[in-house]
Every structure is written in structure tokens, then in C-alpha cells.
Amino acid sequence: GFRVPMVYEAVATGATGLTVDEVVLYDTDPTRLRVMERIIGELAHTLPGAPVLTTTDSLDVAVADTDFVFAAVRVGGPAGRVIDERVALNLGLLGQETIGPGGLAYALRSIPVARELTDAVKRLAPNAWVINFTNPAGIVTEAMRQILGERVVGICDTPIGLARRVGRQLGVELDDPSVEIDYIGLNHLGWLREVRVDGVNRLPEVLADDNLLDGIEEARLMGFDWVRQTRALPNEYLFYYLFPDEARRRIQAKATTRGEYLLAQQSRFYRTAVDDTCCASPLNLWRTVLRDREGTYMAEAREGARREEDIAGGGYQEVALRLMTALALGGSERMILDVGNGLDDGTRIVPELPDDMVVEVPCVVDRDGVHPQAVGPVALDQLGLMARLRASERKILEAAVTGNEGAAWEGFSIHPLVDSPVLGRQLVDGYKRGHPEVAALFA
């Protein structure tokens, strides 16, 4: 992915005490691979003791005998994202990368490739941990866990960013042992419900104070009155479920979709950065483009420019490093991860959902593995939305694995942001026309 240099830098600094000897970059696109090699090569010169960098277009070479695999896959590239968005928008539906029909189409293309990667890991590095960044992270992680089980963990920076913003407003560090959080949901569909400091839930004082809420991007997106009414802070992607018509209107009001904007940006970037003669510092160019990319993220959900503190609020590369360190060296780390619903004692985090369904919850990580933590009961409205979304995604998973077009039709039709067999059929047909991978899957 485009943020690979951030991950490399986090690994290379060795801030957690973990020493990484070698990083192998794998890509099927030689231009992207060459550009990332140039950027990271330049970055490595500024980092004493940086890991050796190797590049390859062979999946088997990339994963053989590795300890950790970071998976960030975008089948079809930015152009595929444009199709995902436009097919939905042309039917009067939300056109977004990971939410709604676009997210299902993205999953339909990504799952076969993600499973191919996982099969290679099982053959060539069966003891490796796979850390999945590929969106939609919940269902893609679930597809990979069918092959490698608990050794696949999903990471997303949105719950991390939310928790950090709340901690900042309370003046507490999330790493402090006295701080505990209650967060429950699926990837891009979750709620922060408690922040306990020394056993006392301090989220109510945040919800009661306009000044504190103003420092939390998610509260500004959803509205102060709404978060007070629900007594929880939702993941920023809940904006698309709570205000789908407004989101669609704002997207359609722009000359280009987010995907079209990024396609043009990325095309210019890679054309320039691959050319040694006209780009002396691809690292500086990458930083400029990344800054613009982060600043315009979810622009349709905001009325103004994104605040500086919100841009810096995520940091999944740091969480990935802490996760790796705890698994490799021991110690104990707490973080929000995408993991199976089943607990070590045989119970379920969300009793109403299956054991193998991937949920996004607080976890403790140590050398023995990733241990999901129990959370409070899930409110009926939260449970209903989680169940509807995952029922839809599981049909898409079935379609991606078996080639059953009928399952895809069901998956699109029952999604909360579609809710129509007629539109579901039109979506399947539209994505078959737009994506050769989807057409081949159902041939």
C-alpha cells in the first residue's frame, strides 16, 4: 500500500526493542515496486541499522521462512476503486471505498487474492503471523483466518484514532495500566462505550462537555446531541450509516469521486517518482502526496478542512510494531484488533454471533498470542446493524470462495445501505461489466 514507508520507518526505528533483519516488499506492479524501493532506500539512509530491503514479484519468495507478513492488497488498483464507487452512485446508492456496495465489490475482488497469499504462508512459513491491513478488513481477515486460524489478525487505524482522541481530551495515556476501554463492533462499524480510569468510567464527562467533544472528530461528524443520546462515540465510518443520503449528495456534488481524485494523484506520483532524472527525492514527494491524501480523507463527511490533530490521530504502523514486538519478545500490549469472536475459555465476546466471526475489540497481546477481552452487552441497535452487515459480507465471502453468483446477489441485496434484490442484481451485473476479475469469478 501507499503507506508502506511509514510501516518500514516504524520497524526500522526499533523503538520497542524489536530488531528486524530484513524487510521484503512484494508487488505484481513493477513500477510501484520500483518507486517504493527508491523511497525506502532513501529513508533507510536516515535510519541507523535499518533492515535490509529486498524486493520481489514472486509471492513464494516473499513469504518463505518469514516471521511476520503484512498484507495490504488492492486488486485492480485505484482504477478498480473508481469502478466500485461509480457503479453504486449510478444506481443512486452510496459510492464509497469500504462501505456499502463499493466495499462489497472490493471484498469480492480481494478475498481470492488474500486467500492465495494465506495459502502461500501456510506452505512456506506456517509459523508466521499475518497482519492484515487489506480493506474491508473484517471480512478479508475472516477469509484468511479460514486458512491460518488465529495467526491472522486485522488492524485498522480508525478505532485507534478515536481512542487516542478521547484519551487526549481526558489527559490520559491509553498505555497507562489504569486506563481500560470498552469498544465493540466490526471493522468500520464500532462504538467506544466506556473509558475507565482507575475503574471509573470517564466517558460521560466527555459527552457532557462541548469543549471536550469539539476535540473529537467523530463527535463533530455525528453531532454532539446524537453521541449524548446514544451515550457512545461511534467509529467515524458510522457517518455513512447514520447519514447515507447526505453522504451520497455530497459525493455526487463533487466533480470527481474520492477514487477518481486518488487515481489522478497516484498516477502523477508514480510517473514522477519512478523517473530518476526528474525526481531527486522520491521520499519528499511521497511525504507531500501523503500529506494531501490524509488531509482530504473523508472530506464528504466534513464541512471544513481536516484538523491537524485529527490527521495525526491514527498510526496503525505503530500498533503493528507493538503487536509484532509482543508476539515475538513477550511482554503485554493492549490494543483494538480484528479477531475471532470466540474467547479462550470457550465463551463468545458477542454471544449472539458465531465463534469464527471476526469482530473488532480490545485485546491483550503477549508471546502466547492475541487474547480478545470480554466487553459489556451489545445494545440491540448495535447488534442488529452488526448482524445485518456481517450477514451481507459472509454471502460475499461465499461468492468469492465458491464462485456462486447467487450468493453475491444475496450479499449485495441484504446490505443495510442497499436493501433491495432489484438493486442487488443491478450491482452484480454492473460490477461484472466493470471488473474482469468479477466476471471471471462468475464465468
CA–CA separation, 339 and 345 (whole Å): 15
Strands (E), 244-343: 333-340
Residue type at position 8: Y
Active-site entry in 8, 106, 237, 270? 237
What does the buried/exposed string (b/e) look like for 95-109 if buried means 16 or more CB atoms within 10 Å of the residue's CB? bbbbbbbbbbbbbbb
Active-site entry in 27, 84, 157, 338? 157
User: Cα torsion for 344, 348, 353, 359, to the nearest 10°?
Assistant: -60
CA–CA separation, 27 and 240 (whole Å): 32
Q: Is 156 annotated as a binding residue?
A: yes
Which grid cell sits at 43? 529513508
Q: Is 279 annotated as a binding residue?
A: no
Q: Check if the beta carbon of residue 322 is closer than 8 Å to that of residue 336.
A: no
CA–CA separation, 298 and 315 (whole Å): 17
Q: Is 211 annotated as a binding residue?
A: no
CA angle 259, 265, 266 (to 5 degrees): 85
Residue in this structure with the C-alpha cell 503493528, named with its chain if needed: 320
C-alpha separations of 422 from 212, 413, 426 in Å: 45, 8, 6
Q: Check if the beta carbon of residue 5 is closer than 8 Å to that of residue 36.
A: yes
CA–CA separation, 277 and 267 (whole Å): 18
Active site residue 237: yes
Residue in this structure with the C-alpha cell 463468545, named with its chain if needed: 348
Query: Which among 259, 290, 311 has a CA at the least distance from the CA of 96?
Result: 259
C-alpha separations of 121 from 47, 67, 128, 328 in Å: 29, 10, 7, 18
Active site residue 381: no
Q: Is 278 annotated as a binding residue?
A: no
- Annotated binding-site residues for Mn(2+) read 156, 188
The residues assigned a catalytic role are 157, 237
- Annotated binding-site residues for substrate read 81, 135
- Annotated binding-site residues read 81, 135, 156, 188
